[in-house]
Amino acid sequence: MKVSQYIHAIRLPFEIPVAPGVRVERTVYSYIVFGDGIALIDSGVSGAEAVLFEYIRKSGRNPQEISTLVLTHSHPDHVGSAKAIREATGCGVWAHAGEKDWIEDTERQCRERPVPGFHDLVGGPVPVDRVLADGELIDLAGSVRCRVIHTPGHSAGSLSLFCEAEKVLISGDAVPLPGDMPIYDDIGDCMASMEKLARRGEVETLLSSWEAPIRGREAVAERMDAGLAYLRRIHETVLKAGGAGQQDLMELCRHVVRELGLPPGAANPLVARAFASSLKASL
């Protein structure tokens, strides 16, 4: 899907095997920048390179033109096919310093943040060729200049990109989808990052990893407000449950999931880890 003169959005469905014979359907978006060359933002899970390459060919271009792969963070649905893309194209991989270790050592990521079906989702490690810093201006595909925005919370080194001429914000997983499974490292950092992004009132198109592009300043502002309200509701619900004597973390997680109206499968260790950050936060 063409989003702007240079930027295209690619929807990548995938499945997470959560138990024998049980798979959860998920979706992630990657973005392709067509210019003098080609840049990718996020790679999807292992095998997604086939979909990305096919889209590039159907657009009349060659995947060998890919010179840059920007990873908004290190989680499996964003780095899964990075190794295959780099091996096929020789592209440079760019990411924030806070994500470098898990991108370059995916086995370490698997040990420290186990995800069901991790090795089905991640094709392997890839070296980070360029470390990106908050506020840095980068050039993508020789045609799009982007401001790097460090947006921690979902993960320590999560970053977003603001493409200034296009008024396009690529937010990775920084903007939570109300009603979706809440997965993040630090609720306080999530809220601070959301507030930082919301202050950029000039954004006309929001490109997140969770959903189709959102267009128009008013619609973007409403989406930001909804994401922040969802985080606040989660935080308040966790604190209320914790104050009511819910000491066991998984039991607290199940209680909060019910209170939020989420499906029972959302009561899992990753979500419990997210909720636990509310018990430590001082907001």
35/250 Cα distance (integer angstroms): 48
What's the whole-model pTM score? 0.94
Q: pLDDT by residue (tens digit) across 34-85?
A: 999 999 999 999 999 999 999 999 999 999 999 999 999 999 999 999 999 9
Residues 135-155 have pLDDT tens digits of: 999 999 999 999 999 999 999
Dist. CA 176–CA 182, nearest whole Å: 7
**pLDDT by residue (tens digit) across 173-225?**
999 999 998 999 999 999 999 999 998 889 999 999 989 999 999 999 999 99
d(CA 155, CA 174): 9
**pLDDT at residue number 245:** 61
176 bridge partner residues: none
Question: Residue 1 above 60 pLDDT?
Answer: yes
Please report, to the nearest 10 degrees, the dihedral formed by the alpha carbons of residues 110, 106, 144, 201 taken in order: 20
Domains and CATH numbers, the chain: 7-227 (3.60.15.10)
Q: Any idea which residue has 């200034």 for tokens?
A: 164
The pLDDT, as a whole number, for residue 19 is 65
Q: Quick one: average pLDDT of 82-94? A: 98
Within 10 angstroms of residue 21's Cβ, the number of other Cβ atoms is 6
Q: Does the pLDDT of residue 18 top 80, yes or no?
A: no
